[in-house]
Amino acid sequence: MTRKRILAAAVVVLTFCVAVGSAGGRSNDSSASASVVLSPLIGAASNDVQQVTYGGKMGFHLDASNTGTSTFNHLVIVVDSPDSAGFSDASRSECVRDSKIATRMVCKLVQMKPTDQPFSVDLRFTAPGSGPATGLTINTTSSLTTDAQTQGNSGNNGTQSFPGTTVPTTLIPSDGNKVVKTFARGKESLTTGATLSQHSQFTMPNGLLNNLYGVDSSVEETTGTPLCTDCPIFATDLSIPASLLGISESPFSPTNFFTFTITLLPDGVPQKYTPTGLYHDGALVPMCSDSDLGVNGTHACLTSLQTKNYKQKGIVAVGKADKNGRFGFG
């Protein structure tokens, strides 16, 4: 089961039968009801509340269905993140940014019958670029508005609205560009601060396997126990939980990989250090020419490794991978 399905299943599906003022003086359709379920596509391990850094992408999945006996006509599905989060993109062409409100996505449908399959869409909003150092929680809401007409009774026709679920998102600071957390997709990069002693860039492939719209992704530049006595203390932690799924479920493969560049600046090079290469989860990363992805269980390999005059120029490792993990120089 994909992460998207796991998170979506965790959301309690709420069905609402709400009657509001009718259009044109006609009564609302009491037989009309709808289920509108918005769920997060990034979740913290403890509580499934999605968390992104300021300026990152917030990922959502929405299911909307007609759960009554009336046919819905002229539907408008709305997802709104009013706390300065702008709508970014969606997996369906029916869903676009509201022409007047940048924080709102609207999906316009001609009709939805009770027997129709749910309308499903993946979507993203861009979080505000800055905020309190202590973090910020914003709420993204969903709703459906429709002209509902009971079959065989043209006099019972009105505009009705059905509220859906609300999803909280916690925005966190990047700690001086040491942390990047986002819902990433095609060709997008996760890039940490270029002035950090060790910094990195990870770039997604053009598309993701298994019909995934995007992936929960984070990078953190940290320190830890060095790989040898004189090795650097710096490490880069890449977390893409979906990359740990089986071959048939992961969005990556030896032919559909993400790329990376990891740089250790001269100020991060210990005085007695002699580089042996880049390590991935404690194992030396081979050159791709020696062991390409998928060969002998290789999940990361290097296309180039710059070590010349490393005490003055630093070390730069460039490569590709299909699995996350911890990267560091040894």
Which tokens hold the place of 17? 């039968």
- Taking Cα atoms as reference points, which of 186, 149, 162 lies closest to residue 63? 162
Instruction: Provide mean pLDDT across the span 282-288.
Output: 97
Instruction: Provide mean pLDDT across the span 11-23.
Output: 33
Superfamily of domain 3-172 in the CATH hierarchy: ntegrin, alpha v. Chain A, domain 3 (2.60.40.1510)
pLDDT at 118 (0 to 100)? 95
Instruction: Provide mean pLDDT across the span 16-37.
Output: 54
Residue 25 sits at φ, ψ, to 5 deg, of 80, 5
Q: Is the pLDDT of residue 40 over 70?
A: yes
Burial of 4 (C-beta count, 10 Å sphere; 0-12/13-18/19+): buried
Cα separation, 222 vs 43, whole angstroms: 22
Pseudo-torsion of CA 204, 207, 211, 216, nearest 10°?
A: 20
CATH C-level class of 179-329: mainly beta
- CATH topology match: 3-172 vs 179-329: no
- Per-residue confidence at 157, pLDDT binned at 50, 70, 90? low
* Residue-wise DSSP of 78-109: EEE-TTTPEEEEESSTTEEE-SS-TTEEEEEE
Q: Which of the 8 DSSP states describes residue 43?
A: -
Least reliable range by pLDDT among 129-133, 161-165, 315-319? 129-133
Enumerate the β-bridge partners of residue 96.
Answer: 106
pLDDT at 24 (0 to 100)? 28
CA atoms within a 13 Å half-sphere pointing along the CA-CB vector of 30: 1
Which residues does 262 contact at the CB level (< 8 Å), separation at least 6? Answer: 198, 199, 200, 236, 278, 316, 317, 327, 329
Cα separation, 168 vs 38, whole angstroms: 10
- pLDDT tens digits along 58-94: 999 999 999 999 899 999 999 999 878 899 999 999 9
pLDDT at 140 (0 to 100)? 96
Residue 241 sits at φ, ψ, to 5 deg, of -50, -35
CA–CA distances in Å: residue 74 to residues 26, 51, 86, 109, 273: 16, 34, 25, 6, 68
Q: Is the pLDDT of residue 46 over 80?
A: no
- Ordered by start, the domain boundaries in the chain are 3-172, 179-329
- pLDDT tens digits along 125-155: 999 999 999 889 999 999 999 875 544 444 4
> How big is the chain, counted in residues?
330
Tell me how far apart the terminal alpha carbons of the chain are, to the nearest angstrom.
37
pLDDT at 156 (0 to 100)? 46
- When the pLDDT of each residue in the chain is averaged and rounded to a whole number, the result is 87
User: Is the pLDDT higher at 43 or at 317?
Assistant: 317
- Per-residue confidence at 17, pLDDT binned at 50, 70, 90? very low
Instruction: Provide mean pLDDT across the span 178-199.
Output: 97
